[in-house]
Chain A
Amino acid sequence: MKRACFIFLLCELLFLCTILAGCAFRDIDKRFFVVAMGIDKSNDEKRPYDVTLKLAIPSPEIRPGKANFQIISEKADSIPEAVRVMKSKVDKEFDFGHCRMVVFDEKTIRKNQGFTINWFLRRRDIQGITYLGIGKPSARDVLKARVQSERLPGNALILSFDPTTNTSPYIMTSMLNDFYMRVREDGIDPYLPIIEPIKGSYNISKVALFAKGTLKADLTRDETRILNELMSTDRRGQINVASGGNQLFVNVDDLKSGIQVMLPKGEKPYIDVHLDIKGFIEGSGEKLATDQELKRYEKIAGATISKRVKRVLKTIQKMEADPLGLGLRYQAKMGATEQQTKDWERIYPNMDIRVHTDLKIKGTGTMY
């Protein structure tokens, strides 16, 4: 009797499983994975947000270039509204859990960044490690681009921004949580990489800087690289040091940057940048046989690098942008109240910049 009861209960439980599982139970094939989002500014005054979603169409076999996706877009007065309207355009529920890329166009992100990204921060399923970028000419064009090597839809961009798979020093990575911190804190400014679709791939080599809450200007490719190196990320590359008639390429093994805000008493405050570079020579027009020659080139190249870095920092300073967080360093020295923030805004545009480079050439590769 008891055993029959037990078996009956078990059957009941299984039956309940099938019914009750309706509430939060949704199989993976009943979800539409949003792999990237694009936010453009539309011409419509009433519905300024033009939201584009890139939806992955999963297939059992994965081959390069066979990444299937679907693009849908909608104009609305806000991002959540647009997403809600778009749900009626597809057959399955959206899942933002794998949305690792959000692209804005320049006009949307120009002002009020905190408000624009608020929806992304508030939603729990959008990861804090989502990459952000600016799409040129528009975010939709970036999402639409089909990359030849792509195995999974939207993966190419993510791989390019991931410093473990792509170490190019021209690509600057901006993540959602970090971006938010930069927007909210005084003394550090956000930046966003610029993504341009080209045929069969993307070109990501420039960065747009913000200052005082607005989008200021883009840096050129070389300026971007130097800024990236100063941010002391893991991205490494070659440095071309033309000295005299000789083109010298140094492959950077290790780059350490020390940036300090110096406030000597009675003197003008200045920014002290110290670069420690270790590397090997990858290309040289001349034969480098002796130690003296290496030492000489170290010195020349070091001076060239210092000059370049200084030029880039001056450009950034002129924009009044502060992606390196110099203001934070000032606050760390002086205190973090409003008074210090005002002081910093006053002194930053006129600060001197002193750069010192320590270049160590460790070897010349397989040839002299």
Chain B
Amino acid sequence: MEELQKEINCVKEKYDNNPDFKVHRFEYFEKKIALIYMKSLCNEAQIKKDIIEPLLLCEKQGKYLLHLLSMPSCQHINASDDVEKLLLQGNALIALSGEIYSVDVRKPTNDQPLDATVEQTVQGAQKGLSEDLTMNMTLVRNRYPSKQLKIEQQTVGTLSKTRIAILYDVDYVQEDVLDEVKKKISGLKADIIQAAGQLHNYMTKEKYRIFPTMMITERPDRLALNLSQGKVVILMNGTPFGLVAPAVFFDFLSSMDDKTLPYWVTRLLILLRYVGLLITIILPSLYIAITSYNPEIVRSQLALTIAGSRAGVPYPSFFEVLFMMFAVELLVESSLRLPKTIGPTATTVGGLILGQAAQQAQLVSSIMIIITAFVAISNFTIPINAMSFAVRCARYPLIVFASFFGIVGVVAGLILLLCHLSDLRSFGKPYLKMYWGTTDKMSKVRESRKE
């Protein structure tokens, strides 16, 4: 006991200057009672309700102790416990007749589910995750009420001590993936981890990475679905996003709407996304290749139209393309960070005025304006944002290849991209590979559990 007392004194000295460190002393049962907690982390109303009020109602010390210990979060502290850590996690310590008890009175932060804004669906669930880990676990549990769902909690980040939870279905989970996830988390070397994407960055070996190998999602329904597919879900306190591993290329082009819409509608939408993906990757480079190397590929009509509209443009085609791509990227980037009220103005100024004027001033050809718009719009059809960003990056090497080697360069660039993608592994699973029919099998209801 003396050890504990010493430690409390030590903590007290350490934090004495901090205004939010509270040591509250009073006397009752003719004994000294001390209540120690961090004001900024704790819910004082709860302290009053759970700790002080019962004290006044209890006439004997034994009854009060019984009450304290009956609270689910209360704990009798042994010497070995790290008092400081408990305090920083939002516990209140009660020192009573030489014994110390801790009660969890943490003040919840942002525990309301937020609206799904990043990954919207038309007719699916409209609420996403919250910023509170406990709440998020509740949300997932609600959607996946299985006794097989296992949750393991730990913290990451030597300074931030961010609490994370690893969720998986014990029966369906792919053991090799789970082992690798755990291995990677335990091997993490980072001070501050505050967002899901950051955790993803630390968990992948490759430093120079374009494509996401873990799914970042804010939708609890996607998490529940992925749990049933045997994937591992990582939730993190303080961010409304969860990570899913493994994730392959095709996952990033699937939307939760695909499950709610009729079969043929879904197929059409999926096809649309893949066509959009192709267009957004190759169209700018194809324009360079066709206008500057091989105009004989297209029909005479189109070739002459392009030649006519380019007649007044003083710069070579790749400048034209880079210029317009740059304008669009700026537009996207600026409207991302702007407050919602100014957003539309930026779009109008950038999109309408700049595009129109650039064409009239003969800085770019009118065909290029069409291509720019086409590329930008088809980029937005990719449902997962991480992939959409990756694709935006991937088209620039292709532009370089096209300006050096023309149409052969475009094909070569696509091949290199294909090589890169098929060589990626997401936690041991091939990233790009033809899965004949296995996705259907996955989404089917499995009556019997895995043997």
Contact = CB atoms under 8 A, between A and B. Distances in A.
B291 A60 contact: no
Interface in A137-167: 151-152, 155, 158
A27 B310 contact: yes
Given A27-B291, A29-B310, A98 B305 contact: no
A95 B300 contact: no
B184 to A, nearest CB: 23
A239 B111 CA distance: 85
A100 B299 CA distance: 11
Contacts of B404: 17, 20-21
Interface string A238-257: 00000000000000000000
A153 to B, nearest CB: 8
Interface stretch (B237-245, B313-321, B330-338): B313-321
A28 B406 contact: no
A152 B310 contact: no
Given A29-B311, A31-B295, A21 B316 contact: yes
A58 interface: yes
A179 B294 CA distance: 26
A129 interface: no
Nearest to A61: B308
A32 B300 CA distance: 12
Nearest to A98: B300
A329 B306 CA distance: 47
B292 A25 contact: yes
Contacts of B296: 95, 97-98, 125, 127
Interface string A182-219: 00000000000000000000000000000000000000
Contacts of A61: 308
Interface string A22-54: 001111110101010000000000000000000
Contacts of B306: 28
B366 A152 contact: no
Most buried by A among B293, B308, B406: B308
Contact of B291 (A28, A35, A127, A151): A28
B120 interface: no
Contacts of A158: 300
A58 B316 contact: no
B291 to A, nearest CB: 4
Nearest to B406: A24
B403 interface: yes
Interface string A54-75: 0010111110000000000000
B266 interface: no
A288 to B, nearest CB: 45
Interface residues of A, number: 31
Given A95-B296, A98-B296, A21 B311 contact: no
Contacts of B310: 27-29
A113 to B, nearest CB: 25
B366 A60 contact: yes
Nearest to A16: B404
A101 to B, nearest CB: 11
A334 interface: no
Contacts of A20: 404
Contacts of B229: none
A263 interface: no
A17 B396 CA distance: 13
B307 A13 contact: no
B11 interface: no
B121 interface: no
Interface in B272-319: 290-296, 300-301, 303-311, 313, 316-319
Contact of B308 (A25, A59, A95): A59
B256 interface: no
A62 B292 CA distance: 22
Interface in B363-422: 366, 400, 403-404, 406
Nearest to B306: A28
A59 B366 CA distance: 12
B209 to A, nearest CB: 14
B403 A21 contact: yes
Contacts, number: 87
A33 B299 CA distance: 12
B292 A28 contact: yes
Contacts of A24: 293, 406
A58 B304 contact: yes
B207 to A, nearest CB: 10
A51 to B, nearest CB: 20
B313 A29 contact: yes
Contact of A58 (B308, B313, B318): B308
B293 A25 contact: yes
Contacts of A28: 290-292, 295, 303, 306-307, 310, 317
A172 B313 CA distance: 42
B307 A29 contact: yes
A161 B320 CA distance: 37
Nearest to A32: B307
Contacts of A26: 292-293
Interface string B222-247: 00000000000000000000000000
A72 to B, nearest CB: 18
Given A62-B305, A95-B296, A98-B303, A13 B313 contact: no
Given A20-B404, A25-B316, A97-B296, A33 B304 contact: yes
Contacts of B292: 21, 25-28
B316 A152 contact: no
Contacts of A60: 305, 308-309, 311, 366
Interface string A2-25: 000000000001100110110011
B291 A58 contact: no
B300 A58 contact: no
A152 B301 contact: yes
A18 B294 CA distance: 18
Nearest to A124: B296
Nearest to B320: A27
Nearest to A127: B296
B323 to A, nearest CB: 12
A317 B304 CA distance: 45
Interface in B67-116: none
Nearest to B315: A27
Contacts of B309: 60
A20 B403 CA distance: 9
Interface string A84-117: 0000000000010110100000000000000000
Contact of B295 (A14, A35, A95, A155): A95
Given A60-B309, A60-B311, A13 B291 contact: no
Interface of A: 13-14, 17-18, 20-21, 24-29, 31, 33, 35, 56, 58-62, 95, 97-98, 100, 125, 127, 151-152, 155, 158
Given A17-B403, A28-B295, A60-B311, 5 more contacts: A28-B306, A29-B313, A60-B309, A62-B308, A98-B300
8 contacts: A13-B400, A17-B318, A21-B292, A21-B318, A27-B292, A33-B303, A58-B305, A98-B300
Interface of B: 290-296, 300-301, 303-311, 313, 316-319, 322, 366, 400, 403-404, 406
Interface pairs A-B: 8 shortest CB-CB: A97-B296, A58-B308, A58-B307, A28-B291, A98-B300, A60-B308, A29-B310, A58-B304
